[in-house]
A = this chain, B = another copy of it.
């Protein structure tokens, strides 16, 4: 059910992109009760000028390697689950790709379970 979008600046290898996407999905399955086969991700690389991010908002030090992750998912995750999810995404990206913790920005957009159709024109959770 999550629909995940990743944006980063152009210049990474296909392997880097795939591994970054793997990390986000593995954190969702580990921390937020997402089934392993419930994976839908859009990865977009942006020109330098097309991604504007303040270098230090919220007390971090952002580099050109910033990854912005938007996750549309169902309501119902507690604050504790969200915190665990954020931490695990950052930990996995750090281990797999040496992404700095400062370079991970996550935005959750919550919707109701009626709002998904994963095929055949049916409300998957309706």
The interface of chain A, by Cβ under 8 A from chain B, is 3, 7, 14, 17-18, 21, 35, 37-46, 49-54, 56-60, 62, 68, 70, 72, 79, 82-83, 86-91, 101-112, 114-124, 126
In the bound complex, residues from chain B placing their C-beta under 8 Å from that of A87 are 121-122
In the bound complex, residues from chain B placing their C-beta under 8 Å from that of A82 are 114-115, 123, 126
Check if B54 sits within 8 Å of A109, measured CB to CB: no
B18, B54, B90, B118: which contacts A40 (Cβ < 8 A)? B54
Minimum CB–CB distance from A90 to chain B (whole Å) comes to 3
Check if A49 sits within 8 Å of B111, measured CB to CB: no
Given the known A-B contacts A83-B126, A111-B110, A121-B89, are A35 and B50 also in contact in the complex, defined by CB atoms under 8 Å?
A: no
In the bound complex, residues from chain B placing their C-beta under 8 Å from that of A45 are 50
Given the known A-B contacts A121-B87, A122-B86, are A57 and B70 also in contact in the complex, defined by CB atoms under 8 Å?
A: no
Task: Report the Cα distance A2→B41, complex, angstroms.
Answer: 22
